[in-house]
Structure 1
Amino acid sequence: MTTKGTKRFIWGFLIVWVMLMTIFTFNDLNLSKALYNEHESRFGWFFEVYGEHPAFLVLFAAGSILFSTVRNERLIKKIVVRLVSGLFILLSGFGIITITLTRGYGLDGDHVMINSLIITVLFATLCQWLLNRIAVQTLRQYNRAAWAAIVIVFAEILLVNVLKIFWGRMRFRNMEGDYSLFTSWFLPQGIQENGVTTEAYKSFPSGHSANGWTMMLWMMFMPFANKWRNIMLVCAVVWGISTSTSRVIMGDHFATDVLFGAFITITCMLLFCKLFKVDLYPNSQPNATALLKDKNAPYFR
């Protein structure tokens, strides 16, 4: 059953999204003309480098939690869960470091990949050492959230990248002043020439925005008191808006592109939280001991 707090969140999100989408639909091109500042905006550069990090960080955290909570389980379950969660840890940690080094510092080459992998392994080991100092009963309260977060991130990434290919909307900066090439978001252009690989026609929707708004998933890992989730919600909204705005400034996306990216992530979050029975705003703190004694409770609980 959806809690009152979660219902308020859903209705608030839908109302604000519809209002903004209506406004931006009729002002897409003008907003991009007014905000575009690709070569001089430090704000735009910062969020181009770091804006997507929340998605990778939540994968790293979720994988780390799952890896640690099977420490006392049967050998087969421990091996399977640790292989899966370990893969998430390595992929997300590797992604965070390589993106930072390549986008932020212009580094490339094999040494970047090797160093990224080494740093990821060292940091993952440190995290496991710290998590092993926390009782399994405490960590298992977040198992559902961890599985949900992993599915949400992969779902939004898949949806965004598939839509990009089939929508074929040209990016603002690739128009180079020829605004006759502008198309509204609700008029998909289909697969363009070399559409799978050509970045110029992947404006809609915004992957940066979708990944930036995954900051909201951190609400699921906050203490169960709603005040902490509200604080995380404010942080997520600030980060999401900043990342989205930066994409318009850099000319990579239009306002409707970033708004639809946010819609994909938040909708995936709401749907999969419902499926995995994770409430963004629980009515009360669950009893961890009771959960562990429930033999019918699924593992990811």
Structure 2
Amino acid sequence: MATTGTKRFIWGFLLVWIILMAIFTFTDLQVSQMLYNEEHSKFGWFFEVYGEHPAFIVLFASGNILFSTVREAQWVKKMLVRLVAGMFILMGGFSMFFMALNRGFELAGGGVMLISLASAVLLAVILQWMLKQVSVEKLSAYNRAAWAGIVIVFAEIMVVNVLKIFWGRMRFRNMEGDYSQFTRWFLPQGIQENGVTAEAHKSFPSGHSANGWTMMVWMLFMPFVNKWRSIMLVVAMAWGLCTSTSRVIMGDHFATDVLSGAFITITSMLLICKLMKVDVYLAMQTNASISLKDKNTPYFR
């Protein structure tokens, strides 16, 4: 059963999303015309480069938690878990560094990929050393959150990219001057010429927005005190809103595109947390630490 805090979060999110979606459904084009500033917006550029990082940080952090947790396990389990966790560590770490170098400094090629991979490995080694100072018992309390985080990221990425292909909505910055190619978000245009590579027709939904809003998953890794999860929620909402707004400024997406990206991520998070029995907000409201030995805490259900 969802806690009171989780229920409030769900209903608050749905109410705000429905209201905004109703408004922007009829003002999409006007909002983009008003905000578009691709050439001169440093704000837009920053979040174009770093807006998606929260999703790959989730993969990197989750992989490291799982990798370290099995250090005292039997060798078969240790090998299997570390093989899978290592894949997520490399995938998340490589993506973080490569996107920063490629988008931020326009660097590309095999050398940049090698530097990104080496940086990910080095950072993982440092993090593993730090996690080794934490007891396995304490670290294991976050195992379920780590698995949930990985599933959430893969779910939202898959849903967003499949919808992009079949929706075929043209991006604002790729339209002609009279905007005759503009279409409403609820009118799918189907697979366009060049299929999966037709980037100009991948406006709906926004991948940047979906990945940016995965910062909300970080709530699951906060200490077992609800006030820290509320603080993380505020930070995540600020990052998600900034990333979403930047996509409209850069002309890559319309307001309804970024709202839909946010909806996919947050809905995926709520559903997967429900299935994997990881509470967004804990049932016990207290400022004191909750004993990790108590098997009645939500993470052990």
TM-score band, normalised by the shorter chain?
over 0.9
Q: Deviations over 1:162-207 (max 9, x none)?
A: 0000000000000032311000000000001112111000000000
Q: What's the CA shift for 1:286?
A: 5.5
Contact 1:171 1:200 in 2 (8 A): yes
Structure-to-structure mapping, 1:170-181, within 5 angstroms? 170-181=170-181
Residue of structure 2 in register with 1:218 after alignment: 218
CA 1:156/1:188 → structure 2, altered by over 3 Å: closer, same or farther?
same
Q: Deviations over 1:25-84 (max 9, x none)?
A: 000000000000000000000000000000000111111000000011111110000000
Residue of structure 2 in register with 1:280 after alignment: 280
Give 2:210's aligned amino acid. Answer: A
Provide the aligned C-alpha RMSD in A: 1.7
Give 1:174's aligned amino acid. Answer: N
Q: What's the CA shift for 1:109?
A: 1.2
Q: What's the CA shift for 1:224?
A: 1.3
Q: Normalization by structure 1: what TM-score?
A: 0.96
Structure-to-structure mapping, 1:58-69, within 5 angstroms? 58-69=58-69
Distance 2:248 2:276 in 1: 34
Q: What's the CA shift for 1:153?
A: 0.1
Q: Normalization by structure 2: what TM-score?
A: 0.96
Distance 1:58 1:137 in 2: 21
Residue of structure 2 in register with 1:72 after alignment: 72
Q: What's the CA shift for 1:287?
A: 3.9
Contact 1:168 1:195 in 2 (8 A): no
Contact 1:219 1:280 in 2 (8 A): yes
Contact 1:168 1:202 in 2 (8 A): yes
Unaligned runs of 5+ in 1: none
Residue of structure 2 in register with 1:191 after alignment: 191
Identity level (%): 69
Residue of structure 1 in register with 2:19 after alignment: 19
Distance 1:111 1:105 in 2: 14
Distance 1:182 1:30 in 2: 11
Alignment partner of 1:181: what SS?
A: coil
Residue of structure 2 in register with 1:153 after alignment: 153
Alignment partner of 1:177: what SS?
A: coil
Q: What's the CA shift for 1:283?
A: 1.5
Unaligned runs of 5+ in 2: none
Distance 2:168 2:121 in 1: 38
Give 1:242's aligned amino acid. Answer: C
Structure-to-structure mapping, 1:243-282, within 5 angstroms? 243-282=243-282
Give 2:34's aligned amino acid. Answer: A
Distance 1:233 1:178 in 2: 40
Q: Deviations over 1:88-139 (max 9, x none)?
A: 0001100000000000001111110111111111110000000000011111
Q: What's the CA shift for 1:8?
A: 0.3
Alignment partner of 1:20: what SS?
A: helix
Q: Which consecutive aligned stretches of 4+ in structure 1 deviate over 4 angstroms post-superposition?
A: none
